[in-house]
Amino acid sequence: MKSRDVIIIGGGSTGLSIAYYLSKFGVDDVSVLEMNYVGSGSTGRCGTGIRAQFADEATIKMMKHAEGEWRELAEEIGFEFRQTGYLYLHHTEEELNQYRQIKELQNSLGVPTEILTPTEARELCEPLDVSKLTGASYNPEDGKAHPFEVVTGFKKYFQEGNVELRENVKVVEVELRKEGRLKKVETADGTYETEVLVNAAGGWAPAVGEMMGLDLPVEPYRHQAIITEPFKPGTIEPMVISMKHESAYLTQTERGGIIGGVGTPEDERPTYDTTETLDFEERVSRAFTAIIPSLKYARILRHWAGYYATSPDGNPLLGEYKVPGHYLAAGYSGHGYMMAPSVGEGIAELITSGETELPLDYYDPERIDRGELRDAAVQMG
């Protein structure tokens, strides 16, 4: 039986980022256990988007910090973080005024969001139909990074360092000591002794919680996305968002495909089913062509589904939870990829020193038990 300082369950953006910061902070003995391959969960299925345009102080601060870290990580582990902005389209005066207020909050926290006229919006993305817009919000520091490049970057980085990353190793049991502390983590291929365990299992976090007798408030919701055949790269650079069109989000990858999707329907129930639906293709086609009419000529190349691992208030659950030494980092409800660097750094700080300057308190998982629900963060992408 091996003994490790920290065991991380889950090789998605969350688990990999926590392992990275732990190794930066000098924790030598870290293992990441992934039941499939890195990025095989929601991370490899995400829409690539990274933004600080949120409406609550904590998430804006987390994401302002994360964007700085994304820039440094990109250099250090070798992937591209393309800061091509997020462009929120507004269709009524009411929506525009609401976003003016949000912009003030973002600006006060160092996020340089601007309000643009429809013509200025079209200068950033020429094929947009701006005829029905009242304006747009734009933060040039927001951007995108390809999840495959990110997870393989981490993987290579760990190969040269101290972090043990094991793929195709499923955690099947967690054993606690009589006094309730962590004792052992059983996998399908060996046992580890540890006193610190991170549950970064995304949509499967509840199954890991059950191994410790915990009923975690996280539910998986299917969320679908598409990519089209490639077009001239650089045509749709910002992530374009339209709440009016079923919370549609779309942008272009470096190779030219248009990647994106629309929001999950209200009547969707929690499920582990990741079957793609024709209804989604219809909805996404209607929304995308209303936003950019020339996309009617685009063919969908690939369509897939993953999970939004959702918490009761639409915000992540981050921090030590119920069992001493058990850290939960799940329940992002749709924006967990972009938060990974701040979550990684914050959780690694909690593990190593018990404190962090990042506003992790806001996401304290115990808030749900106390009935202190936060306002839901805007979800799309």
Using an 8 Å Cβ cutoff, are 142 and 148 in contact? no
Which one, 79 or 130, has the nearer CB to ligand FAD? Answer: 79
Counting contacts by CB under 6 A, is residue 12 touching ligand FAD? yes
Using an 8 Å Cβ cutoff, are 99 and 355 in contact? no
Structure tokens that stand for 125 in this block? 């993305």
Structure tokens that stand for 274 in this block? 């990741």
Using an 8 Å Cβ cutoff, are 140 and 83 in contact? yes
Which one, 122 or 184, has the nearer CB to ligand FAD? Answer: 184
Q: What is the DSSP string of 64-112?
A: HHHHHHHHHHIIIII---B---EEEEE-SHHHHHHHHHHHHHHHHTT--
Counting contacts by CB under 6 A, is residue 40 touching ligand FAD? yes
Phi, psi of 77, rounded to the nearest 5 degrees: -100, -5
Shortest distance, CB of residue 372 to ligand FAD, whole angstroms? 22
- Which of 7, 20, 41, 368 forms a contact with ligand FAD (CB under 6 A)? 41
Task: Name the segment binding ligand FAD (CB under 6 A); options: 55-63, 66-74, 194-202, 289-297.
Answer: 194-202
Which one, 306 or 359, has the nearer CB to ligand FAD? Answer: 306
Instruction: Give the CA radius of gyration of the chain.
Output: 20
- Helix spans in 189-235 (H): 205-210
Counting contacts by CB under 6 A, is residue 335 touching ligand FAD? yes
Which one, 89 or 130, has the nearer CB to ligand FAD? Answer: 89
Using an 8 Å Cβ cutoff, are 98 and 135 in contact? no
Counting contacts by CB under 6 A, is residue 347 touching ligand FAD? no
Shortest distance, CB of residue 163 to ligand FAD, whole angstroms? 15
Counting contacts by CB under 6 A, is residue 59 touching ligand FAD? no
| Residue ranges that bind ligand FAD, judged by CB under 6 A | 9-15, 33-36, 40-43, 45-49, 170-171, 200-204, 208, 223-225, 261, 306-308, 330, 332, 334-338, 381
